[in-house]
Amino acid sequence: MRFPFGEQITVHRHTGEQRNAHGKVTKTFTDETVQRVAVAPYQVAEPSDGGREQITTRFSIYLSPGAGISPLDEVTVRGVRCQVDGAVSGEWVNPFNGWAPGSEVRLKEVAG
Q: What is the mean pLDDT of the chain?
A: 87
> In the chain, count of helices (H) and strands (E)?
0, 6
Q: What is the pLDDT of residue 111?
A: 81
Q: What is the pLDDT of residue 110?
A: 82
Flag whether pLDDT at 12 surpasses 90: yes
Residues in Cβ contact with 38 at an 8 Å cutoff, skipping those fewer than 6 apart: 3, 6, 7, 61, 62
Flag whether pLDDT at 15 surpasses 70: yes
Return d(Cα 111, Cα 108) in angstroms, integer.
Answer: 10
pLDDT digits (tens, 9 = 90+) for 46-90: 666 666 677 888 999 988 888 889 999 999 999 999 999 988 777
Flag whether pLDDT at 4 surpasses 60: yes
Flag whether pLDDT at 5 surpasses 70: yes
Q: Where are the chain's structural domains?
A: 7-59+66-75+84-111
Flag whether pLDDT at 45 surpasses 80: no
**pTM for the model:** 0.81
Q: Is the dihedral of CA 8, 59, 79, 12 positive or negative?
A: negative
Flag whether pLDDT at 1 surpasses 60: no
Q: Which of 34, 18, 24 is nearest to 77 (CA)?
A: 34
SS3 90: coil
